[in-house]
Amino acid sequence: MEIKTRDESIANLSEKLSKEQLHKAVTQGYSDVSLSEISRFKGEYAAMFFDSKYSANTVNKLLDAYNKNLLTPNDLIQTIKYTEHNNKNEPYVDDFLGSIENDIFHKTAAGIFSATLYEHCSYKEAVEYVKSGAFYPTEYASLSVTKEVAEQLDKMGIPLRACEGFNNCYDIDISDRLEGALERGAAIFVRDKNLAVKVCEYMKLPDWSNFRSQVELAMGTEIACLSGDMLSGLRDKYLHENRCIALSQKVNDEYGKFIADMKKEPADVIIESAYEIVSKDNIATYCQECNVELSEKQFAALMTSKNTLDEVYREWCDNGEWHGIDDIGLALEETADRIQISIDRKIAEKKPAEIPENISAEKQVVKPKNKSR
């Protein structure tokens, strides 16, 4: 659309603006493009640009993007309509406009940018909240928790707050009130946004219901204080406990089979095997009763063994310095590392066969990641 001259734009705006607004339009450094585009809006919308707390420079950036069709009229109004008393998101205008040119849908970007007027986060942080699937931008300059995440938070007993429109806000204290708020299209807010992000991530996993129950049990009456970091910590603990249980079950099954086979042996063989029986019993008991401090990778290595109990017992016998029950933890760790080395070696042995014949031997050489000292 053709840009009006500055005089034409001012003449048009003089019919729509108050004296104070017109004075600002003339004196504050608004560009010809800005004045031309604003003059095409109805009076109430045109006035918003000069009632805004945004600087003329920021308004010029927004109108330039609008002139280049990066923003629609609705987008532009969304970015400006709540800025009469607040310009907190003004430092993010370049990030906002840059995101539209990259990968964010213009309407979504405008809603997120508007939300950062009141949300305690930067534009880039707000984009990540929305990308997580836990939030969406509302038309009232806010980020609302999605329906699915809000329902899970409510089931857990996390305090939520609803807002219908811009100012009609209230605390949600019972589930049926949440259902009613959602039916009326209310925005839903939670104290810790990272908690909503983590819930959105974990609720997609098959063990979510069981994990949620464990969280509720662990937090008890302090569930309202749950944060995203705390939930992550509880998730790590939950997964560790599950790995310990899986390892314990495997070792105990192997021990049960070992004892069943041993009972078939003559008495002299059983007597000769007394040390092995006692040692394997100690290993199985340790796995069942103690917190096995291994990494996820070490647990996985032990679980790949055809007979973990035999492997750990062999490691135990090979080390003459281990005697006490606490040393079984070291035996488990050493066994896991030895199994992992074997796994890595087998993987490395397969790689040369996967290299095309036309690649030179020089290029096939694997260089070390770190230089030796």
Last residue of a domain, one of 105, 129, 153: 129
Domain total in the chain: 2
**Are 47 and 14 a contacting pair, CB within 8 Å?**
no
Domain region containing 253: 230-364
Euclidean distance between CA atoms 16 and 270, whole angstroms = 102
For 325, phi then psi, to 5°, come to -65, -35
Euclidean distance between CA atoms 165 and 279, whole angstroms = 69
- pLDDT value, residue 103: 86
Last residue of a domain, one of 83, 107, 129: 129
Spell out the alpha helix ranges (H) of 119-227.
Answer: 123-131, 147-156, 175-183, 193-202, 208-219
Q: Left if phi > 0, otherwise alpha if psi is -120 to 50, otherwise beta: which for 112?
A: alpha
**Are 112 and 126 a contacting pair, CB within 8 Å?**
yes
Residue 152 lies in a domain: no
115 and 236 in a single domain? The answer is no
CA distances from 157 to 64, 149, 202, 217, 315 (A): 47, 13, 17, 12, 48
Residue 331 lies in a domain: yes
Chain position carrying tokens 């899970």: 152
CA distances from 101 to 76, 108, 163, 170, 247 (A): 16, 13, 32, 37, 51
- pLDDT value, residue 356: 57
CA distances from 167 to 142, 147, 173 (A): 11, 20, 19
- pLDDT value, residue 362: 43
Residue 155 lies in a domain: no
Closest by CA to 177, choosing from 159, 190, 191, 192, is 159
Euclidean distance between CA atoms 87 and 165, whole angstroms = 20
Closest by CA to 253, choosing from 276, 284, 274, is 284
Residue 173 lies in a domain: no
**Are 40 and 16 a contacting pair, CB within 8 Å?**
no
**Are 194 and 229 a contacting pair, CB within 8 Å?**
yes
Q: What is the dihedral of CA 210, 212, 214, 219, to 10 degrees?
A: -170
Coil/strand/helix, residue 280: helix
Residue 89 lies in a domain: yes
Residue 193 lies in a domain: no
Euclidean distance between CA atoms 294 and 276, whole angstroms = 24
pLDDT tens string for the chain (373 positions)?
688 899 999 999 999 999 999 999 999 999 999 999 999 999 999 999 999 999 999 999 999 999 999 999 999 999 999 999 999 999 999 999 999 988 899 999 999 999 999 999 999 999 999 999 999 999 999 999 999 999 999 999 999 999 998 888 999 976 678 999 999 999 999 999 999 999 999 999 999 999 999 999 999 999 999 999 999 999 999 999 999 999 999 999 999 999 999 999 999 999 999 999 999 999 999 999 998 999 999 999 999 999 999 999 999 998 877 778 889 999 999 999 999 999 999 888 876 655 555 544 444 443 433 333 2
Largest CA distance in the chain: 112
Euclidean distance between CA atoms 309 and 305, whole angstroms = 9
234 and 360 in a single domain? The answer is yes
**Are 294 and 337 a contacting pair, CB within 8 Å?**
no
234 and 124 in a single domain? The answer is no
Last residue of a domain, one of 129, 146, 168: 129
Residue 220 lies in a domain: no
Residue 223 lies in a domain: no
359 and 245 in a single domain? The answer is yes
- Looking from the CA of 85 toward its CB, the CA atoms found within 13 Å total 1
- Full-prediction pTM beyond 0.85? no
Q: What is the dihedral of CA 52, 32, 106, 78, to 10 degrees?
A: 20
